[in-house]
Amino acid sequence: MAVLVLVYNGLSAGRGGAKLYFADESRTRLVMERRNIPGTGGLEDRSRAVLDELLLGPMERGHESYLEGSSRVSAILHRDGKLYVDIDIPDLGALLTDASLLAEGMSRSLRESVPGAGTLILHVNGIPYSGPHSVP
């Protein structure tokens, strides 16, 4: 019986799924969307997988992307309880929301989907993001 429970839980669609936070239709609040993302690899690999999915954009109606065009995670490093993330946004004019909403969505997605990820230290195009409206 115990083996059956383990197998069932391991294959359940709700297990290992990620909670991704996107902008709502007004692009002022966060809304959650579930995605099945493989939970394999180290903490940095799992964090990259979550952020890559977040940057691809939402799949549910009423959820909006943070950016137009291309963007990517260029670097991730986990040290001393902090997750350093640098995202490459070639055209900063492509931001469709306030930069603080993007940072909050990334932080919340990581916190709820990657146990142990720690505090997000965000860089955009190699420059530290230090708070609302501070994207370089």
Domain parsing of the chain, residue ranges: 17-128
pLDDT for 75: 96
Q: What is the mean pLDDT of the chain?
A: 84
- What are the tens digits of pLDDT across the range 80-105? 999 999 999 988 888 888 889 999 99
| Neighbouring-strand partners of residue 83 | 78, 120
Q: Is the pTM of this model over 0.75?
A: yes
Higher pLDDT, 78 or 7: 78
- What are the tens digits of pLDDT across the range 23-53? 999 999 999 999 998 878 899 999 999 999 9
- Is the domain defined by 17-128 classed in CATH 3.30.300? yes
* Confidence category of residue 54, pLDDT binned at 50, 70, 90: very high
Which residues, at least 6 apart from 49, have a Cβ–Cβ distance to it below 8 Å?
18, 37, 38, 41
Alpha-carbon distance of 18 to 12, in angstroms, equals 13
How much is the average pLDDT of 124-136?
Answer: 70
pLDDT for 6: 32
Which residues, at least 6 apart from 32, have a Cβ–Cβ distance to it below 8 Å?
19, 20, 21
Give percent of the chain above pLDDT 90.
65
pLDDT for 35: 94
Q: Is the pLDDT of residue 131 over 60?
A: yes
- Say whether 46 sits in a helix, a strand or coil: helix
